[in-house]
């Protein structure tokens, strides 16, 4: 079974804080993705990565950055958290069947 | 880029009845169309997918149809059961691109 693990289920941060969301997969998947999920907006892609140290912007990258120093770990960084970044964040990875995405359980972030 | 529209946003059906969720896409190069189910508090999981070389695919009570000319695809659930209650997301991609564009989601409620 593929396991995609997000380090926190719930986070509460203050405006202006630097926030790190961590995602780890245990299946040696090459591709990893970060989405945010908001009611009525579906899943919107923030950033994705095809390989170590490689990243590409998704549809809504503004205010976010990412880091992939190791194949199994993909981090989402909010440089200076704002209230409009309050959301559910989902990490996903794909393996040899490249379009089947395996999701983590999500991190619900509240920025106060 | 690709744009996926999903309707309806909410759907309520009586147990045992059928449910249909529809999606349209904009990019004629898209050739892979998965559906994900997200139960309350859980991660999205792939339930069925279809590629552009077929018009219909069925797996027990769920089926997906694809009309490439009209650029729309639909999820059909027959003999609905309470455990079908969830949020359903459609998505589209060009398999070479490896990333998915999701629809806005449909909250399906099965009434006993």
How far away is chain B from the Cα of A72, in angstroms, using its nearest Cα? 18
> B43 and A41 in contact by Cβ < 8 A?
no
d(CA A108, CA B6): 24
* Cβ neighbours around B55 below 10 Å, total: 12
Work out how many CB contacts closer than 8 A connect A with B. Answer: 53
Q: Is B89 on the interface with A (CB under 8 A)?
A: yes
The string of pLDDT tens digits covering residues B90-100 is 999 987 767 89
| Contact status, residue B93 vs residue B100, Cβ threshold 8 Å | yes
Residue A68 to residue B59: CA distance in whole angstroms: 37
Min Cα–Cα distance to chain A from B25, Å = 15
> How close, in Å, is residue B60 to chain A by CA atoms?
20
Please give the structure tokens belonging to residue A76. 């989402």
Token pair, residue B88, equals: 């359903």
Q: Taking a C-beta distance cutoff of 8 angstroms, is the pair A3, B65 a contact?
A: no
Write out the two tokens for A15. 């405006």
Q: How far apart are CA A24 and CA A4, in angstroms?
A: 6
Question: Best residue in A31, A41, A57, A99 to probe B by mutation, most B CBs within 10 Å?
Answer: A99
From first to last of the 112 residues of chain A, give the pLDDT tens digit.
Answer: 778 999 999 999 999 999 999 999 998 999 999 999 999 899 999 999 998 988 999 999 999 999 999 999 999 999 999 999 999 999 999 977 767 899 999 999 999 9
* B12-23 pLDDT, tens digit each: 999 999 999 999
């Amino acid at each position: 079974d593929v396991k995609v693990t997000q380090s926190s289920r719930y986070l509460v941060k203050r405006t202006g804080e630097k926030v790190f969301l961590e995602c780890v997969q245990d299946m040696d998947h090459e591709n990893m993705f970060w989405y945010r999920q908001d009611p009525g907006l579906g899943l919107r892609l923030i950033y994705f990565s095809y390989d170590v140290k490689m990243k590409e912007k998704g549809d809504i990258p503004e205010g976010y950055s990412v880091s992939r120093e190791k194949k199994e770990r993909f981090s989402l960084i909010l440089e200076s958290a704002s209230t409009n970044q309050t959301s559910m964040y989902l990490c996903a990875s794909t393996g040899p069947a490249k379009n089947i995405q395996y999701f983590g359980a999500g991190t619900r972030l509240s920025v106060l | 880029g690709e744009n996926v529209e999903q309707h309806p946003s909410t759907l309520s059906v009586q147990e045992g009845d059928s449910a249909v969720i529809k999606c349209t896409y904009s990019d004629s190069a898209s050739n892979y169309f998965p559906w994900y189910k997200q139960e309350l508090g859980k991660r999205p999981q792939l339930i069925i997918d279809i590629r552009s070389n077929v018009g219909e695919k069925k797996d027990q009570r769920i089926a997906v149809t694809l009309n490439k000319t009209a650029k729309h695809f639909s999820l059909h659930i027959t003999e609905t059961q309470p455990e079908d209650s969830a949020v359903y997301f459609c998505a589209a991609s060009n398999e070479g691109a490896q990333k998915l564009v999701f629809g806005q989601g449909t909250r399906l409620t099965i009434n006993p």
